[in-house]
């Protein structure tokens, strides 16, 4: 999209798609019919970063979603509270997905969009090396899972248990148990539990419970990760970020636009139905037009 906006050469099919998306989103956001926030994918940009951010600002009107990790932590606190107090329902609020209430931002009627880019802490080469290293490790893991013949259902259990194992290891390192105030500073989950006056002996039980598995972020993340690790397609550098983005966004948004590969995974898992979110890829112009025209 940035290449098109800068007048650079792209093929005609891509040109049609991105020009339609840009112009339509630009128009609908200014009519206050659509919110298109900047998400943490901006951390994935290093080449032509300022130009990409400029396009994102134009479409978002400066509205930002919070980082995926913040969504995950906030939902975990909510479900911990429900577990401790034996609540039967947990309601998530769209406001927890944004830095500021987007309705208020859209109502400001300001002629200016103020945004500060603090840049990146790494050079382009350092980012490439780090991302490639991470991708290689994930791909090696996928190949190992395939060689062992681990099924999707078995890998899903491993995904759910991964965080539990990490928390259990930390918990076992505390000789004085979970009441040790210093130890609570080691792990955010322990901090949350302590703040909610949860019974220390029930802490690990939460991670074994249906409450933990119902946390939207974990539910989506674990299902998508298991699907990718047990699939035949090679892990790509953007997959981890794509999964985190889907996990934090889908529970809150009405429409989620992604690439063909990620859409297939989300819809094969019926996560779009579970969270009542329309999931489309950028090539589905007719469906995109139908949705945008309905606003």
pLDDT of residue 47: 59
With residues binned 3-state (H G I as helix, E B as strand, rest as coil), the percentages for the chain, rounded to 5, are 65, 5, 30
Task: Tell me, yes or no, whether 291 lies in a domain.
Answer: no
Kindly tell me if the per-residue pLDDT of 248 is higher than 50: yes
Of 88-97, 235-244, 263-272, the range with the highest mean pLDDT is 263-272
Kindly tell me if the per-residue pLDDT of 46 is higher than 60: no
Q: Do residues 77 and 51 share a domain?
A: no
* pLDDT one-digit tens code per residue, 163-183: 777 666 665 654 344 444 444
Q: Do residues 45 and 166 share a domain?
A: no
The rounded percent of the chain whose pLDDT value lies above 90 is 57
Question: 106 Cβ partners below 8 Å, 6+ apart?
Answer: 29, 32, 35, 61, 63
* pLDDT one-digit tens code per residue, 145-157: 999 999 999 999 9
Task: Tell me, yes or no, whether 112 lies in a domain.
Answer: no
- Exposed (0-12), middle (13-18) or buried (19+): which is 42, by Cβ within 10 Å? middle
Q: Do residues 161 and 29 share a domain?
A: no
pLDDT of residue 2: 81
pLDDT of residue 51: 79
Least confident of 35-49, 187-201, 256-270: 35-49
Q: Do residues 274 and 194 share a domain?
A: yes
Of 113-117, 166-170, 267-271, the range with the highest mean pLDDT is 267-271
Mean pLDDT across 116-125: 63
Identify the CA nearest to 281 among candidates 262, 252, 259.
259
The residue segments making up the domain with residue 26 are: 1-64
Cα–Cα distance for residue pair 195/94, rounded to 1 Å: 24
Number of domains in the chain: 2
Kindly tell me if the per-residue pLDDT of 279 is higher than 90: yes
Task: Tell me, yes or no, whether 83 lies in a domain.
Answer: yes
Task: Tell me, yes or no, whether 118 lies in a domain.
Answer: no
Task: Tell me, yes or no, whether 96 lies in a domain.
Answer: yes
Task: Give the phi and the psi of residue 235 in degrees, each rounded to 5.
Answer: -65, 130
Of the pLDDT bands very low, low, confident and very high (cuts 50, 70, 90), residue 219 is very high
The rounded percent of the chain whose pLDDT value lies above 70 is 84
pLDDT of residue 62: 86
pLDDT of residue 41: 64
Task: Tell me, yes or no, whether 39 lies in a domain.
Answer: yes
Mean pLDDT across 128-156: 92
Q: Do residues 127 and 233 share a domain?
A: yes
Least confident of 15-29, 110-124, 139-153: 110-124
Helix axis angle for 152-172 and 188-195, nearest 10°, is 70
Q: Do residues 59 and 74 share a domain?
A: no
Q: Do residues 154 and 53 share a domain?
A: no
By DSSP bridging, strand 255-258 and strand 278-281 are parallel
Q: Do residues 134 and 239 share a domain?
A: yes
Contact 275, 216 (CB under 8 A): yes
Cα–Cα distance for residue pair 38/157, rounded to 1 Å: 32
Q: Tell me the whole-structure pTM to 2 decimals.
A: 0.87
């Amino acid at each position: 999209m940035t290449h098109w906006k800068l007048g650079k050469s792209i093929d005609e099919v891509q040109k049609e798609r991105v020009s339609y998306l840009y112009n339509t989103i630009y128009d609908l956001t200014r009519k206050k019919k659509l919110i298109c926030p900047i998400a943490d994918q901006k951390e994935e940009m290093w080449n032509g970063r300022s130009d990409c951010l400029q396009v994102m600002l134009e479409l978002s009107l400066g509205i930002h979603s919070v980082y995926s990790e913040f969504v995950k932590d906030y939902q975990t606190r909510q479900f911990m509270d429900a577990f401790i107090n034996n609540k039967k329902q947990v309601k998530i609020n769209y406001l927890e997905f944004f830095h500021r209430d987007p309705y208020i931002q859209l109502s400001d009627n300001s002629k200016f969009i103020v945004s500060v880019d603090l840049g990146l802490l790494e050079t382009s080469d350092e980012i490439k090396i780090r991302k490639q290293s991470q991708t290689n490790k994930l791909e090696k893991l996928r190949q190992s899972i395939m060689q062992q013949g681990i099924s999707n259902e078995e890998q899903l259990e491993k995904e759910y248990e991964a965080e539990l194992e990490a928390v259990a290891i930390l918990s076992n390192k505390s000789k004085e148990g979970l009441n040790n105030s210093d130890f609570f500073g080691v792990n955010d989950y322990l901090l949350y539990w302590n703040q909610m006056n949860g019974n220390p002996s029930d802490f690990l039980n939460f991670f074994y419970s249906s409450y933990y598995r119902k946390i939207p972020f974990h539910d989506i993340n674990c299902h998508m990760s298991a699907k990718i690790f047990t699939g035949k397609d090679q892990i790509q550098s953007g997959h981890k970020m794509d999964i985190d983005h889907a996990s934090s966004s889908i529970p809150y948004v009405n429409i989620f636009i992604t690439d063909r590969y990620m859409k297939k995974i989300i819809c094969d898992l019926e996560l779009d139905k579970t969270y009542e979110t329309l999931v489309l890829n950028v090539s589905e112009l007719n469906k995109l037009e139908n949705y945008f025209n309905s606003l």
